Amino acid sequence: MTNVDELSAETVVEPQPHRAVQIQSGAYFLELSLDWIVLRASENVHHLVGESHVTLIDEPLGRFVQSQALHDLRNLFSRLSGTTGIGRAYAVRLTDDPDLFDIAFQQSEGRVLLEATRSAGSYGEGFGTVGGLIAGLANSHGQALLEGAARRMRALTGYDRVTLVCGERRAESCRGAFAAPAAMAADVPAIVADSEAAPVAIFPRDEAETSAGHALMRAPDADALAASGVRGSMRVPFNVDDLHGEFRCESRTAREPSFELHAAAELFAQLFAMRLEIDHLRAPPKAGA
């Protein structure tokens, strides 16, 4: 059975220009045309669909997955078309193999980027807590609002450190010390499960006309994360009107990838952004304004 969450806005990560894009070892990746012909595949994709990555190229995805799974995913994609959001489906059975997978996909530059991880199996746990966490910010204002949001995002996600940046304002909630502050300007993917794990190549390996650099779980620059003592991370951008910011969740240890947790964190971030906008509108004007 496929459980689908609502589409959510996501700031797209720009590809790294000087290095062939790879995918993290905890994920499987397919780059599809808009009519779902396989254009590229991660070289571990046989664990997902039971066929070699070489066999998949230039073939319709429907040849390799169950018809019901394909039908559900394409229906979700039809709702996604024309947006910058991410479609997600949970506990999907793609083949006759009994394993279940969580799926995330997005449209980028005329391609469909489909990523999969083994199903986390939490089924809504994170979403159930978001409302209460946001309600706890009702009486917070100014810097206290940012600090409360960072603490609550850390409670939601369980990461060791959460840094929140919005314009020139910054707040942090941290358990223990890190080697360095969060490098918010660093180009990291949306989800990093284990920066020390060997990445997986994407086939074909040439970089011509590919959108793989926008993948949620493209392989990160491990050296940049190691310098901060970070092994697992999650980026959660938000925006409402002219307010733009990001939560950066970081862990000293590896974390199992979870598209559902990422979606719950996105929901929290967008609700927080609306609360932040209200606080901004209610703030008294600066002297001389």
Which carries the bigger pLDDT value, residue 124 or residue 212? 212
Residue 19 pLDDT grade (very low, low, confident, very high; cuts 50, 70, 90):
low
Which carries the bigger pLDDT value, residue 77 or residue 265? 265
What value does the mean pLDDT take over residues 207-225? 87
d(CA 122, CA 127): 10
Note the pLDDT of residue 1: 46
Q: Output the 3-class SS for the chain.
A: CCEECCCEECCCCCCCCCCCCEECCCCEEEEECCCCEEEEEECCCHHHHCCCHHHHCCCEHHHCCCHHHHHHHHHHHHHHCCCCEEEEEEEECCCCCCCCEEEEEEEECCEEEEEEEECCCCCCHHHHHHHHHHHCCCCCCHHHHHHHHHHHHHHHHCCCEEEEEECCEEEEEECCCCCCCCCCCCCCCCEECCCCCCCEEEECCCCCCCCHHHCCCECCCHHHHHHCCCCEEEEEEEEECCEEEEEEEEECCCCCCCHHHHHHHHHHHHHHHHHHHHHHHHCCCCCCC
Each domain of the chain, given as residue ranges in start order, spans: 3-118, 125-196+218-282
What's the mean per-residue pLDDT of the chain?
88
Note the pLDDT of residue 30: 97
Which carries the bigger pLDDT value, residue 145 or residue 7? 145
**Superfamily covering domain 3-118:** PAS domain (3.30.450.20)
Which carries the bigger pLDDT value, residue 80 or residue 33? 33
Note the pLDDT of residue 281: 77
With the CA atoms of 204, 206, 208 and 210 taken in that order, what torsion angle do they form, in degrees rounded to the nearest 10?
Answer: 50
Residue 154 pLDDT grade (very low, low, confident, very high; cuts 50, 70, 90):
very high
238-280: pLDDT as tens digits: 988 878 899 999 999 999 999 999 999 999 999 999 999 988 8
CA distances from 6 to 20, 176, 273 (A): 32, 35, 18
The rounded Cα 111 to chain-centroid distance in angstroms is 18
185-197: pLDDT as tens digits: 888 999 999 999 9
d(CA 202, CA 51): 15
Angle 142-157/259-282 helices, nearest 10 degrees? Answer: 170
User: Which residues 6+ apart lie within 8 Å of 88 measured at CB?
Assistant: 4, 5, 102, 103, 104, 105, 259, 260, 263
Residue 96 pLDDT grade (very low, low, confident, very high; cuts 50, 70, 90):
very high
Note the pLDDT of residue 225: 86
Q: Is the pLDDT of residue 72 over 80?
A: yes
Closest by Cα among 241, 25, 264 to 132 = 264
Note the pLDDT of residue 235: 96
The torsion angles phi and psi of 71, rounded to 5 degrees, stand at -60, -45
Note the pLDDT of residue 164: 97
Q: Does the N-terminal peptide bond of residue 204 adopt cis geometry, omega within 30 degrees of 0?
A: yes
Task: Please indicate whether the domains covering 3-118 and 125-196+218-282 agree at the CATH topology level.
Answer: yes
Q: Is the pLDDT of residue 228 over 70?
A: yes
- 155: tokens are 């409670």
Note the pLDDT of residue 288: 55
The strand pairing partners of 235, in sequence order, are 248
Greatest CA separation found in the chain? 69
d(CA 210, CA 109): 9
What number of other Cβ atoms are within 10 A of residue 66's Cβ?
14
Note the pLDDT of residue 124: 73
Note the pLDDT of residue 82: 57
What value does the mean pLDDT take over residues 13-22? 61
Q: For 125-196+218-282, which CATH class?
A: alpha beta
78-94: pLDDT as tens digits: 887 655 689 999 999 99
Q: Is the pLDDT of residue 16 over 80?
A: no
